[in-house]
Structure 1
Amino acid sequence: MATVIPFKAVRPTRDKVGLVASRSYQSYSEPELEARLNYNPYSFLHIVNPGYKYDKDLHGKERYSLVKNRYLEFKEDGIFVQDQTPCYYIYKIVNRNGDEFSGIIAATSTEDYKNNVIKRHEDTIEYREHIFKDYLKTVGFNAEPVLLTYPDNDVIKTIISKTQKVRAEFEFTTHFRDTHYLWVLDDTSAIESIKTEFKNIKTIYIADGHHRTASSYLLSQALKSENPNHTGNEPYNYFMSYLLPESELKIHEYNRLVKDLNGLTKEAFLIQLDTVFRIENRGNELYQPTKKHHFCMYLDGEFYSLFLRKMTYQFENPLEALDTQILYKTILEPILGIKDVRNNTRLSYSYGTNNLVTIKTKVDSGEFAVGFGLVPIKINELKAIANEGLTMPPKSTFIEPKLRSGITIFEF
């Protein structure tokens, strides 16, 4: 039984939304960030990089306080305006490849996260949870929704489709040629129908935003303990999410690159692989695996297909059947000596269009000794991992859509 409620979003005005919206600031290179700060006074990046105004790098509480000040200035200047009544926000993204994503921006319950109604499939790092919790407590808002996914629902789909028949409140295209649309859903009957449908959904899943979800839960507990009149209905008991039906979620693979063969010769490495995989040399063929438990390997100028010998590997739970876990348990840890896949500097990750070409280029350059290509994980695998209370290895999924900051803001 999921609690998904409307809220009064703070939003940029229609004429400025395309200028305000930004990617997560960590995703910008230094030249990109500087250019946007220099030439776009409306960018949300000015809020999250308040030190730009003083040509100074800021950290911790000093930065958090100035983030809040910049945010309040955007409201005072009329760049941001808050809706008067609680609404759902129907949000659609059409990316450069023509993929479409239509979902609902809403407030979701931290208690649902605590009670495992909202399930996770990744581990979080405790110190990062607390850093972001302290940030949220100081600034008092969240500007980027967590991406959640739910089972396809005909009633919700019909409401979304009907809402999208009228002109969108927002429509803008990014430099990456992704087009974003937003509709404000304030019809009380439709709102109640959506709330009811989510109440009948037993479980929803975090697709992207595990740390933000965990931090929001920690914040709710902290503010609850400080409020003697706590009722459970306060905004801090919720966090902003973009809820997308499972059929529209797009999951890409994360491939692996390793800097060396752990002291092994090419021949010795292949012999060790042969105990677990059926190996075929594909030469210059850009071999892309298409089935679970099939892998691509690029080594010394040649591609190889690796097919898992299932008689030598036992699937004891959904995690053990996951290709990223199989690669770790059969190659990365026992042969290449990589035990800590989160922090080992010999291991790198790669994703994106034509990624096998990227792997080939990086290995041919000598930067890496070997690369591995995988097939994307399926939504049912993600759900099985979450349902068992297990967690995937780091960088198991690259999930679309990727959301922008500053389009809807949730205050608490």
Structure 2
Amino acid sequence: MIVRPFRALRPTREMVSKIAAKPYDVVTEEQAREVAKVNPYTWYKVTRPEIHFDHPVDTLDPQVHVKGKEHMEWLIKNGYMFVEDKPAIYIYQQHWRDHVQTGFFATFSVDEYIENKIKKHELTRKDKEDERVIHFKVVGAQTGPVFLMYKSRPEIDELIMKHASGEPEYDFVDESGVRHIVWVLKDDNEIQKIVDAFKDVDAFYIADGHHRAAASVRTALDLRQENPNYTGEEEFNYFLAAIFPHTQLRILDYNRVVKDLNGLSEEEFMKKVSEKFTITPWDGIYKPERKHTIGMYLSGKWYKLEPKPGTYDENDAIDSLDVSILQKNLLAPILGIENPRTDKRIDFVGGILGIEELQRLVDEGKFKVAFAMYPTSIEDLIKVSDEGKIMPPKSTWFEPKLKSGIVVHLI
């Protein structure tokens, strides 16, 4: 697999904590506006350029993204950001609660994505892709990293860890309590060791950022058409990502809440659920403790649900996922939620908010029933990706999130 150093556009040490921002797609426009009110430097002014306007705008309009480009140029002009003097790899370590993960920022091959050597597990929406393609082309940069992983190898992991020491270039704690540490690796010999170490790796896997990856590839294909004499070495042939060994990543639960019981009484609902699941009433909050256990909260009470034999195929990468078991045996046939991507009666709650959030949403009457899921495993994600299959929507919630604006790839 190809790992390629690059000359990042990046903040000065003094400005990194002010500029760096969450991925554009995990904050609402209103949240980005609130940050921008108190922080004029925020990278949201690049990745969410609609916040420059005091009226609704169409983010498929290239002129909206011109505002993002102008903000990036303003940061450069005023010396808040600069372009690296030579290609580098950026060792990236995140500390969150009791968890540490160490990887690096680099650029990765568009062609290897096209050849499916960079494997996916999610469907993407064309409208979201379209918006990012316009963004990347107008701004002239990949403004946020894709989140990649590789199957851990001790010799590669150690090679990366060797450089996660000494005086870092950046070391700051963000608004979510995540500590971000970056070391800039410019030594050509050491970079080459990392590049060479990955040459016999078979595949990379997208953990998060499928739309950013797909949009980067579409941007490259567009620019190749516009530049028929391209050599393959142009920056647009590569996309920005941070990559980590799979053993260091953490997937949190991604839970479900539903607004009604599809016309059923609670008694009728429980009877139907009991046909496919063993139901155990639970004292206090029930947080699933292993695969194939699901928590259910209804009318002030928690229950443990365990799927009965015959409700799923343990040998099928998709069918054996807990989110699939719940969808196939309860959400669709009992609650009538055939397409959780589009049905307005269901919502999804990231595990970062805690199991108590599910209880609160039901207790306040916003939803009728909640389902607490055991987190999808990294191994399940790899298995699904290797088989070329697509996970059900909202199967994984990676935490901590990568920051945008720490390093930017100019194309």
TM-score normalized with structure 1 length: 0.94
Question: Structure 1 residues 219 and 290, CA, compared in 2 at 3 Å: closer, same or farther?
Answer: same
Please say if 1:262 is aligned against 2:262. Answer: yes
Q: What SS does the corresponding residue of 2:232 show, helix, strand or coil?
A: coil
- The code of the aligned residue for 2:264 comes to L
Partner deviation per Cα, 1:264-311 (whole Å, 9 max, x = no partner)? 1111111111211111122x4211222221111111221111111123
Match of 1:208 in 2: 208
Q: Which moved more, 1:315-324 or 1:345-354?
A: 345-354
More off after superposition, 159-168 vs 336-345:
159-168
Structure 1, residues 158-184: CA drift from partner, whole Å, max 9, x if none?
Answer: 232222221001111112222111111
Structure 2 spans left out of the alignment, 5+ residues: none
Superposed CA RMSD in Å reads 1.8
SS of equivalent to 1:105: strand
Deviation at residue 32 of structure 1 after TM alignment: 4.9
Give the deviation of 1:237 after TM superposition: 0.8
Greater mean alpha carbon deviation, residues 242-251 or residues 222-231: 222-231
Q: Counterpart in 1 of 2:219?
A: 219
SS state at 2:162 partner: helix
Q: Distance in 2 between matches of 1:27 and 1:49?
A: 11
SS in 1 for 2:71: helix
Greater mean deviation of Cα atoms: 245-254 or 265-274: 265-274
Q: Identity over aligned residues, as a percent?
A: 35
* Maintained 8 Å contact 2:262/2:335: yes
- Residue 205 of structure 1 aligns to a residue whose secondary structure is strand
Any residues of structure 2 matched to 1:2-401 within 5 Å, and which? 2-25=1-24, 27-28=26-27, 32-50=31-49, 55-59=54-58, 60-95=61-96, 97-282=97-282, 284-315=283-314, 317-353=316-352, 355-401=354-400
Instruction: Give the residue type in structure 1 aligned to 2:184.
Output: V
Which 5+ residue runs of structure 1 have no aligned equivalent? none
1:333 Cα deviation from its structure 2 partner = 0.5
Count of matched residue pairs:
409
Q: What amino acid is aligned across from residue 193 of structure 2 in structure 1?
A: S
- 1:143/1:407 contact within 8 Å kept: no
Contact conserved, 1:101 with 1:401, CA < 8 A, in 2? no
Q: What is the alpha-carbon distance in structure 2 between the residues aligned to residue 48 and residue 109 of structure 1?
A: 23
Select between 162-171 and 20-29 the one with higher mean Cα deviation.
20-29
- Is the contact between residue 148 and residue 242 of structure 2 (CA under 8 Å) also seen in structure 1? yes
Q: 1:317 to 1:50 in 2, by over 3 A?
A: closer
Task: Confirm or deny: 8 A CA contact 2:47 2:143 kept in the other structure.
Answer: no
Cα distance between partner residues in 2 of 1:53 and 1:395: 30
Post-superposition CA distance 1:135-157 (Å, at most 9, x none): 21111101211000111123332
Superposition deviation, residue 228 in structure 1: 2.1
CA offset at residue 360 of structure 1?
A: 1.6
Query: What is the CA deviation profile of residues 36-69 of structure 1, one whole-angstrom value per residue up to 9, with x for unaligned ones?
Result: 3233232223334556566455432111122112
**1:324-383 Cα shifts (integer Å, max 9, x gaps):** 011000001011000110111110111235733221222122211111111111111001
Partner-residue secondary structure (3-state), 1:324: helix
User: How far apart, in 2, do the equivalents of 1:330 and 1:6 lie?
Assistant: 48
Look up the SS of the partner of 1:4 in the other structure.
coil
Worse-superposed segment, 255-264 or 27-36: 27-36
Q: Give 1:162's aligned amino acid.
A: K
Change (3 A) 1:308 1:48: closer
Write out per-residue CA displacement over residues 20-47 of structure 1, whole angstroms, 9 at most, x where no aligned residue: 1112355456775444323323222333
Distance 1:51 1:354, change over 3 A: closer
Indicate the SS of the match to 1:368: coil
Distance 1:104 1:143 in 2: 16
**What residue identity is the alignment partner of 1:94?**
H
Contact 2:252 2:352 survives alignment (8 Å): no
Separation in 1, partners of 2:230, 2:46: 30
Q: Distance in 1 between matches of 2:253 and 2:242?
A: 22
Aligned equivalents of 2:145 and 2:315: distance in 1?
A: 35
CA distance in 2, matches of 1:262, 1:51: 38
> Is the partner of 2:198 in helix, strand or coil?
helix
3-state DSSP class of the match of 2:310?
helix
